[in-house]
């Protein structure tokens, strides 16, 4: 039970951090988008705004997906639930939900490997995107987001396992 309380607290902490980061990132994306429009109106150069904005959108997507895992609003293939909905007890539903989240965690780990390989390939051939920031710094948001999403699925699978 102590372990379950630890994972519940860890899940709440992770969700809190993700909410704050999501809010900050969305505000930053809105500011940068507005700045890009102003730059275009005034015919100023804005070579750094669009690449940064594109990569911040990746972060918004991963943070939103992380929050969706807890609230069960994420995309999932729900084949068994309609069939077994009235035949299973709540305990078995939580067990199946936990297995689905754990399988999602495993899939995220496989995808994380590809994200990491992409980041490594970008790091091998660095290019300055803007203001001294290299392309692999921006691309690093993708494996970081996948780590966060994997972590959310893992934590959720454990907390669902312990629910009654």
Tokens of 61: 């997507």
- Residue 91 or 141, more confident: 141
As a whole number of angstroms, the distance between CA 139 and CA 119 comes to: 6
Measure CA 140 to chain center: 13
* pLDDT at residue 163 in the model: 66
Per-position DSSP letters for 113-128, written without gaps between them:
HHHHHHHHHHHHS--E
* pLDDT at residue 161 in the model: 77
- Helix, coil or strand: residue 141: helix
- Helix, coil or strand: residue 64: helix
Q: pLDDT digits over 41-72, tens only?
A: 887 777 778 888 988 999 999 999 999 888 76
pLDDT at 93 over 60: yes
pLDDT band per the 50, 70, 90 thresholds, residue 88: low
pLDDT at 77 over 60: no
Number of domains the chain contains: 1
Q: pLDDT digits over 1-42, tens only?
A: 678 888 888 888 989 999 999 999 999 999 999 988 888 888
Residue-range definition of the domain harbouring residue 158: 2-162
- Helix, coil or strand: residue 133: strand
Tokens of 135: 């392309």
């Amino acid at each position: 039970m102590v372990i379950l309380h630890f994972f519940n607290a860890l899940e709440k902490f992770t969700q809190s951090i993700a909410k704050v980061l999501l809010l900050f990132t969305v505000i930053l994306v809105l500011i940068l988008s507005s700045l890009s429009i102003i730059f275009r109106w005034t015919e100023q150069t804005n070579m750094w705004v669009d690449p940064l904005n594109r990569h911040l959108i990746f972060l918004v997507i991963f943070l939103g997906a992380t929050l969706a895992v807890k609230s069960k609003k994420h995309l999932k293939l729900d084949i068994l639930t309609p069939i077994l909905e009235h035949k299973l007890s709540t305990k078995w539903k939580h067990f199946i939900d936990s297995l689905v989240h754990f399988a999602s965690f495993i899939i995220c780990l496989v995808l994380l490997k590809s994200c990491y390989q992409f980041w490594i390939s970008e790091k091998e051939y660095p290019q300055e995107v803007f203001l001294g920031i290299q392309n692999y710094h921006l691309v690093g948001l993708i494996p970081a987001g996948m780590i966060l999403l994997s972590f959310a699925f893992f934590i959720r699978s454990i907390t669902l396992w312990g629910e009654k």
